[in-house]
Amino acid sequence: MVTANRDSVEEDGRHNIGKSLHANEPSIIDLLPQLENGCQVRDILFDEVSEALQDNSRLARKLEALVVLRKSLNAHRGGINHKGAVGKILTKDDTDKLVTKDTIEECVVTPLKTGVFISDNAVKCECAKILFSTTSYLDTDVCVALFDTDTLRSLLLLVEYSAGNRGNTYIEEEIWVATVSIFRNLLMIIEIPFDISRQLLNFVCNKYDCVAVDFCHAFITKVILPKIAQNPAAGTYLVQSGHHMHMCRKATTYLASVVANVRDYAILSKVCATLVSISEHKFGIDLLLETNCINDVMRLALSVVSRYELMLKDQGLYYHGKDMTMREHITPQNHQLSFEALSVISKVAFTAHRRQISALLDLGVAEVLVKVLNCPLSSTLVRTRSANTLGNLGCESETEVQVIIDADAFPILVRTFQEFTEQNTRVEAAYAICACASKANRSQVGYIISCTSRSDPLGSNTCMALLCDMMDFVCKSDPCNEGNLRLCRVVLNALDNILAIGVRESKIHKLPENPYGRLFIEHQGDVKLAKITAFPDYHIATRATQISRIFFNRPRLWNSVNLEAVYNI
């Protein structure tokens, strides 16, 4: 009986709870009016926007419709979150009905071309924004059909108007951003006529903002450089007298002016990326040298070093105990900007021929790279890129090697290889040392062997031991890694040059043996060279075998060094 009563009580409790829950929820009948009202609002909004877009006589109403259309297009085609957006948004289906080639041409493009909105900047601005969204989110076929030559000229007039020498209002700035961004997107879609491109570049080169620099980057990398590179003689600067070369020179001059006058990180970062693309061509390097751009790029590369020296001067901190405190005052943007500027110099050093490298060294690039390496606040990426650039500069001839020696680069390169644990940094430091050693003459090899500063001519660190350490480092690293393969090649080149000079030294001074070869053997170099003869790369293994046979009569098998002791031979 008690159990039955308890069960009945529990059932009544569950029933009451269910009734209370359902009582708090609206019924379907109550929701129907709200749903009907929502559908009516949606249909009314679509009808209002459709009618207003076609009505050019009431510009205020048309402006509201254009704003709704733009927000809806960005929300449904651009993936922009519209839940927090202020204002009305069409549904995706209604947006798709309006965002067609015919509707945009009739309601936006044609009125712009005919000058219907000439007196209303706000409407022109919204039209430009819609066309920008069109080039960003709609299909290529729609853009090709919409943007004919007449449309491009109408947009060019808006660019000219917004770029004028007047106190630009907010709306004029918005027009400038939208129209230039339209042309930037169209560079990837259609071929813009030359006269329009030339006028547009003239307007852009008068502005120092992100939009202008973004357009210049796209124009150079997607249009100008590919056009010039199609010419078989594109590598020769003097033969480039066409209009594309003229525009490339103008754009490069503009970028050099931006680097010299702008301090905004985002702008300078984009400029450096553009300069890297220009530096991939020898004629581009001539343009950079002609515009004196390298000096300002070096200033950017020293951004961390300059701040460090300023802190030392202001606070009188000449000891390293405060390095951690100083690091807090160096922003990630400082490190990134220094790296990107060094990337420009590195690309120039990699691409340039000997005359251009000589001009680069005359500007003091080697001294800048040494300063960056010596700065305790320089990031790992910056150190790696600096060492790589020194290697690219020194692998030309003994003339370039001497400039690097005069800059006192070798002590810091040796210290970088020996003290840093990051593998890429060690690889690039070793590459720089060996690249210079492979091109060095007798006196330069004598200096490199010491691997110390000019103030201590006796030296404190034998380079042969360093070469052996590098060979050991290569053998312990991934043999399939391209960086390790490159380092292995340049180590063998350096060893070959040093041992060949040692042979000449022994003949000149009538020595019984190669002095550098003797140092090499004392540090187990022949054993480590024998390891490289078994390297997976065929060319590297063959080169190591040749060096071993020429300078040491035959390869010494590293895995059978102690055979005599084992077998009592």
Helix axes 380-394, 409-419, angle to 10 degrees: 130
Interhelix angle 525-532/463-476, rounded to 10 degrees, is: 30
Q: Is 308 exposed, middle or buried (0-12, 13-18, 19+ CB in 10 A)?
A: buried
Angle at 391 between CA 385 and CA 393, to 5 degrees: 105
In order of 271, 336, 377, 397, the CA distances from 324 in angstroms are: 31, 19, 9, 40
pLDDT at 115: 81
CA distance 459 to 436: 18
User: Which of 147, 157, 220 is CA-nearest to residue 189?
Assistant: 147
Going by C-alpha positions, the residue among 491, 409, 478, 479 that lies closest to residue 444 is 409
The whole-angstrom separation of Cα 433 and Cα 417 is 10
Answer for the pair 350, 392: CB distance below 8 angstroms, yes or no: yes
Query: How far apart are the C-alpha atoms of 141 and 213, rounded to whole Å?
Result: 27
**Prediction pTM value:** 0.83
* Domains in the chain: boundaries: 48-195
Q: Residues for the chain: how many in total?
A: 569
Continuous H helices in 147-229: 149-162, 170-186, 194-204, 210-219, 225-229
SS (H, E, C) 206-242: CCCCHHHHHHHHHHHHHHHHHHHHCCCCCCCHHHCCC
The amino acid at residue 17 is I
Say what the pLDDT of residue 44 is. Answer: 81
Rounded to whole angstroms, the Cα distance separating 53 from 62 reads: 6
Longest dimension (CA), the chain: 123
Q: What angle do CA 531, 536, 537 make, to 5 degrees?
A: 105
The closest alpha carbon to 215, from 172, 263, 156, belongs to 156
Sole residue written with tokens 């103030």: 455
Taking only Cα atoms into account, the Rg of the chain, rounded to an integer number of angstroms, comes to 35
Query: Under 8 Å CB-to-CB from 107, ≥6 apart: which residues?
Result: 53, 54
What is the rounded distance in angstroms from the CA atom of residue 63 to the CA atom of residue 123?
Answer: 6
Q: pLDDT in tens for each of the 569 residues of the chain?
A: 444 444 544 445 444 444 443 444 555 455 444 444 444 446 688 888 888 888 877 888 888 988 988 998 888 887 665 454 556 888 888 888 888 899 899 889 998 888 877 778 888 999 999 999 999 998 899 899 999 999 999 999 999 988 875 556 888 899 999 999 999 999 999 999 989 999 999 999 999 999 999 999 999 999 999 988 887 554 444 444 458 888 999 999 999 999 999 999 999 999 999 999 999 999 999 999 999 999 999 999 999 999 888 888 776 544 454 565 677 778 899 999 999 999 999 999 999 999 999 999 999 999 999 999 999 999 999 999 999 999 999 888 899 999 999 999 998 998 898 888 888 898 899 899 999 999 999 989 888 887 533 334 434 446 677 888 888 888 887 777 887 888 899 999 999 999 999 999 899 888 888 888 888 888 888 888 888 888 888 899 999 999 989 888 755 544 444 434 333 33
